[in-house]
A = this chain, B = another copy of it.
């Protein structure tokens, strides 16, 4: 990662890097990686294309910074949600409801950037990098579940993550928040039923 310069020798930059990243984040979140062009990015940032490239290197490197910023700020509710409740059951219930809330909170940034920002993306490396961020979230969920259900953690985490992707897709389809919330509650009840009823062994066979 490039070190941030507090002050340097040359001509000072006339725009704020963090604000530029935030602007790019809004656009990428709104329409996805491929659908946002460098021309629009630089225009909304109030700079020209060469300034954007001098500051970030390329469109994909800018997106990388956007993803990092996204998980640190906008995505902060997720680790908070799964760490809050005392039981795994409570954590997942909270996770689903928080997701329904977060994914539909802003009509201009529906769903999750990590989950849907690179759907049908043509840049293979960008897709892969985005997939790594998804895997990190999946791991986080699995480790939380493993504290109570180590045998079924992988399988249950896959279920939970699939629900999150469904909620994000529904949000991006402009389904209303109330609908996401009711779906989240049913999904949470399904999780609860599965860990309480007669499913003590791993069903997943690789």
Which candidate, A1-9, A57-65, A113-121, is the interface stretch facing chain B? Answer: A113-121
Distance to closest chain B CB from A123 (angstroms): 10
Bound complex: CA of A30 vs CA of B206, how far in Å? 25
Query: Copy number of this protein in the oligomer?
Result: 2
Kindly state whether residue A203 has any CB partner on chain B within 8 Å: yes
List CB contacts (< 8 Å) of A160-180 with chain B.
Answer: 161-170, 172-173, 175-176, 178-180
Query: Please, which residues of chain B bring their CB within 8 A of the CB of A193?
Result: 189-190, 193, 197
> Does the CB pair B182–A204 fall under 8 Å?
yes
Kindly state whether residue A79 has any CB partner on chain B within 8 Å: no
Are A203 and B190 CB-contacts (below 8 A) given A162-B167, A163-B166, A169-B115? no
- 13 cross-chain CB contacts under 8 A: A34-B35, A35-B121, A120-B120, A155-B179, A155-B182, A162-B163, A163-B163, A166-B167, A169-B169, A176-B206, A186-B194, A187-B190, A189-B197
Query: Please, which residues of chain B bring their CB within 8 A of the CB of A159?
Result: 182-183, 186-187
What would 19 more interface pairs be, CB under 8 Å, given A161-B170, A162-B187?
A: A34-B34, A116-B119, A116-B120, A117-B120, A155-B179, A155-B182, A155-B186, A159-B183, A162-B169, A162-B170, A164-B166, A165-B165, A165-B166, A169-B169, A178-B205, A182-B204, A185-B203, A186-B194, A190-B190
